[in-house]
Amino acid sequence: MRLELLLIMFMIGFFCYNFVFFSYLNEILVVKNNNTNIIFKLSLLNALISSLIKINITEVIAISYLFLMFLYLWEVIKFYDENILVKIVFGLMTPLHLIAGMFIVSGITGMLLNKSLRYVINNMHMLLMAVIIVCTILSIFIMILSKIINIKYLQIFATKVRRLKMFIVLELIVISELLVSALIYETDVNVYALSASLVFEGICAIAMFYIGIFLIVGFEIVEDYQCKAQEKLLENMYQHMVIGKTECTLEVDCHTGRLINVIIEGKVKNDLIDTYYRKFIDNIIDNTAHPDDRELLINNLKIYYIMDYINSGINNYEFEYRQKNDDNTYHWNRGYVIAEKDEINTRAIVTICNIQEEKDLEFKATIDALTGLYNRGTVEELITRELQKNCNGLFIVIDIDNFKQINDTFGYNKGDVVLREVAQKINCIFRKEDIVGRIGGDEFVVFLKIGNNLDISKKAEHICNLIYETYYEGFKQVTISASIGIAQTKDGTSFEEIYKLADEALYESKKRGKNTFTIER
């Protein structure tokens, strides 16, 4: 290969190495006066100076290395603003790597060609090729280093003054030893051991440099690694806990509309990954969701709705819906959506959990176990809400006449049967939106929202006729009936007040002979 071409390749390689090094340095140190072009200028300057040194190489190569050391040291101190100790550390970094790299490459070249080190270093073709190889390897090495060692660890340097001083001494000792060893290049004897020792010395020099760095920031790296390992363990535990409690977990790329990850009943569904999220959701909405809940699912699961939530500042929300079982019954699910948006992409995670057991517990807490109607606490809460709305309605109290005789004559089991029958009769008389409950042994209440065509007297008579019944067992018989008290709500009426009025009307019905009703005027 022609010398001119090699020289051009040398300058390009040396420029690239310097550009990579100073770019890396810019992430660690602050450039004085915010000089944005300093990386290009220093890289070009060093490439030109180095080419001149190689062309006019002195008889003693150690002098060339010494010149490069002072050049880099001066540049870092002159153009970067940081603790002087930190600048010395990084100023000596490049010459140390270059000298050690040349030791390794020239030593290997001498062993492969079976030539003396003086022959290798004085042959311009071989010298330029060696430098090109060193610059290429070091450029790649620094790029890898920037990915492996977080910048924050190197920025810790400034806080470790005592360790920095010790490290600078170590650097100077290593460089001095390399400069002395460079005198081996002056021997014109082809001894394999000399080349091998040069390679070994170059490797040891670089190893000592990074051992020194580790001694400065190694404890922080190890501690950080342990913290990350602990965080990862906790994250995995949390993920297993969450996934184990969900029927379905979806990870969605909101820009492409494709599924990134799909876990159903704890198993990853690889056949669904990279398919369209819309198709998966449409199948749920059209085929398994309760008809009354389909609009709700569309408003919470479609991607354009998720994006609307994010744009309005809401990045997580939840909702509940009913899903069909294989036997055409329904169970309750809770959906939870969390989304994150960055400059490039938006991703959402959708989890769906079966909450039927939770709903069953809620239901049991609100329902009277014997009759299936609302219990006292629920009745009071629901009616109070209606009263707070100033809802115009009627409060009805129904007491079963002679119920105690049912228990005394036929036993408590029969009494329970009678209560269930009465509850069913009362419940079938009223509308779905009316509030019907049992508040005590044989006492029932109804909150009836007044309609335009409601005839409350006729409704009360219907209740009395429906509940009136005689029960037989052998020669024993007991007839039950209903005494009813009715009160109309007024603005600002509380549950206690309206209950008291209806109870007074009920007492009046009892006084009048039972099996009748009284409306509180």
Q: Which residue is listed with tokens 């880099």? A: 72
Q: Which residue is listed with tokens 């569904």? A: 269
pLDDT value of residue 18: 87
Beta bridge partners, 67, equal none
pLDDT value of residue 180: 84
pLDDT value of residue 385: 87
CA distances in angstroms from 343 to 207, 260, 308, 347, listed in the order given = 40, 19, 17, 12
Report how far residue 301's alpha carbon sits from residue 412's, in angstroms, rounded to the nearest whole number.
52
Q: Which CATH class is domain 248-360?
A: alpha beta
Looking at per-residue confidence, does 491 or 329 come out higher? 329
Among the ranges given (224-228, 365-369, 489-493), the one the predictor scored with the smallest mean pLDDT: 224-228
The length of the chain in residues reads: 521
Q: What is the mean pLDDT of the chain?
A: 84
For residues 474 and 398, is the Cβ–Cβ distance under 8 A?
no
Q: Which CATH class is domain 367-520?
A: alpha beta
Q: Which of 5-14, 214-223, 440-449 has the highest mean pLDDT?
A: 440-449
Task: State CA 122 to chain mean position distance.
Answer: 61
Q: Which residue is listed with tokens 């209903």? A: 482
CA distances in angstroms from 368 to 59, 136, 423, 466, 492, listed in the order given = 105, 82, 11, 22, 28
Residue 43, H or E segment? helix 38-55
Q: What percent of the chain has pLDDT over 70?
A: 88
pLDDT digits (tens, 9 = 90+) for 119-164: 877 788 888 888 889 889 988 988 887 777 666 666 666 677 787 8
In this structure, what is the dihedral angle of CA atoms 106, 110, 115, 121, given to the nearest 10 degrees?
0
pLDDT value of residue 314: 84
Task: For 267-280, give the secondary structure using H, E and C.
Answer: EECCCCCCCEHHHH
- Where in the chain are all domains bearing CATH 3.30.450.20? 248-360
pLDDT value of residue 41: 84
List of residues 6+ apart from 404 with CB closer than 8 A = 442
pLDDT value of residue 238: 47
List of residues 6+ apart from 475 with CB closer than 8 A = none
Report how far residue 341's alpha carbon sits from residue 150's, in angstroms, rounded to the nearest whole number.
25
Q: Which of 1-10, 19-28, 338-347, 475-484 has the highest mean pLDDT?
A: 475-484
Report how far residue 75's alpha carbon sits from residue 73's, in angstroms, rounded to the nearest whole number.
6
Report how far residue 336's alpha carbon sits from residue 306's, in angstroms, rounded to the nearest whole number.
11
List, as one string, the DSSP characters of 249-308.
Answer: EEEEETTTTEEEEEEETTEE-TTTTTSBHHHHHHHIIIIIB-GGGHHHHHHHHSHHHHHH
Mean pLDDT of 485-508: 90
Res 322 pLDDT > 80: yes
SS3 state at 351: strand
pLDDT digits (tens, 9 = 90+) for 42-69: 888 888 887 776 655 545 677 888 888 8
| Max CA pair span of the chain | 135
In the structure, what pLDDT confidence band is assigned to residue 414 with cuts at 50, 70 and 90? very high
- Where in the chain are all domains bearing CATH 3.30.70.270? 367-520
For residues 487 and 478, is the Cβ–Cβ distance under 8 A?
no
Q: What's the distance, Cα to Cα, between the start and end of the chain in Å?
A: 117
In the structure, what pLDDT confidence band is assigned to residue 245 with cuts at 50, 70 and 90? low
Q: Which residue is listed with tokens 């009046």? A: 508
Res 231 pLDDT > 80: no
Among the ranges given (54-58, 212-216, 271-275, 375-379), the one the predictor scored with the smallest mean pLDDT: 54-58
Mean pLDDT of 302-310: 85
